[in-house]
Amino acid sequence: GAGVSQSPSNKVTEKGKDVELRCDPISGHTALYWYRQSLGQGLEFLIYFQGNSAPDKSGLPSDRFSAERTGGSVSTLTIQRTQQEDSAVYLCASSLVTFNYGYTFGSGTRLTVV
Amino acid sequence: AQTVTQSQPEMSVQEAETVTLSCTYDTSESDYYLFWYKQPPSRQMILVIRQEAYKQQNATENRFSVNFQKAAKSFSLKISDSQLGDAAMYFCAYRPGTQGGSEKLVFGKGMKLTVNP
């Protein structure tokens, strides 16, 4: 596609429920990243996929968070047993594997846990 | 670990005036890349400008330019002839070079820019 697409745009869920957030990167971009942006904060790295390599999961805050990337394209971030502190904007980005490029971001999913 | 600091949480500027946003970073690497991103209310992060650390010349993109001071680890963004559409959150970001072992961008906490008509 022309840009990074994320769905849903907004999600309200009850505490304790599981949620899935989807990211469709730019075609041809082999690297995909998930970041979390809490209110008034910068972007917190969550997880990074690069081609067929093992993902860098070093930013996942707890074992309730997981992500997968199928076929080197679409990625799903899953949050199990959601808590109120999970409320944030979840941003996905993709990039070419050249270091002088920044990322192309999607518009994010705003998750609200009530 | 690399860190990026944006010490001014908010700034304002009059339309058509010039404003400078500050950013400092901490790294032991010599090869890296620096970026400024803009985030309007639509939430999408938009790349404004990038700078390669090995280049001495400051990057320029139309009304946007940077003052890159490698020894001081400073990377400020200058916006000339400010426009109402420049109002947004601005984030400074760092990315290691090929020897850094990681492709993650490290972001500062951001700064809110208001443009007054």
**Which among B42, B95, B108 is the nearest to A99, CB-wise?**
B95
Write phi, then psi, for A42 (nearest 5 degrees).
-80, -165
Question: And the tokens for B16?
Answer: 């058509």
pLDDT of residue A80: 98
What does the mean pLDDT of chain A come to? 91
Comparison of pLDDT for A41 and B61, the residue scoring more: B61
The CATH classification number of A5-97 equals 2.60.40.10
In tens, the pLDDT along B37-60 reads: 999 988 889 999 999 998 889 999
pLDDT of residue B99: 56
- CA distances in angstroms from A28 to A3, A101, A104, listed in the order given: 11, 14, 12
Is pLDDT of A61 > 90? yes
Over its C-alpha atoms, chain A yields an Rg (Å, rounded) of 13
**Which among B98, B103, B109 is the nearest to A50, CB-wise?**
B103
| Interface contact flag, B50 A102, Cβ < 8 Å | yes
Is pLDDT of B102 > 70? no
Q: Residue B12 and residue A100: Cα distance in Å, rounded?
A: 30
Q: Residue B5 and residue B7: Cα distance in Å, rounded?
A: 6
**CA-based nearest residue in chain A for residue B48:** A102
pLDDT of residue B97: 76
Q: Residue A88 and residue A109: Cα distance in Å, rounded?
A: 8
In tens, the pLDDT along B3-22 reads: 999 999 999 999 999 999 99
**pLDDT above 70: percentage of residues in chain B:** 96
pLDDT of residue A40: 72
What SS3 class is residue A10?
strand
In tens, the pLDDT along A10-29 reads: 999 999 999 999 999 998 88
What's the CATH fold of domain B3-112?
A: Immunoglobulin-like (2.60.40)
Question: Where exactly are the structural domains of chain A?
Answer: 5-97
Q: Indicate the pLDDT class of residue B70, thresholds 50, 70 and 90.
A: very high
Question: Where exactly are the structural domains of chain B?
Answer: 3-112
pLDDT of residue A23: 97
What SS3 class is residue B113?
strand
Query: What sign does the CA torsion over B81, B9, A82, A46 have?
Result: positive
Query: What sign does the CA torsion over B63, B26, B91, B13 have?
Result: negative
Q: Residue B43 and residue B102: Cα distance in Å, rounded?
A: 25
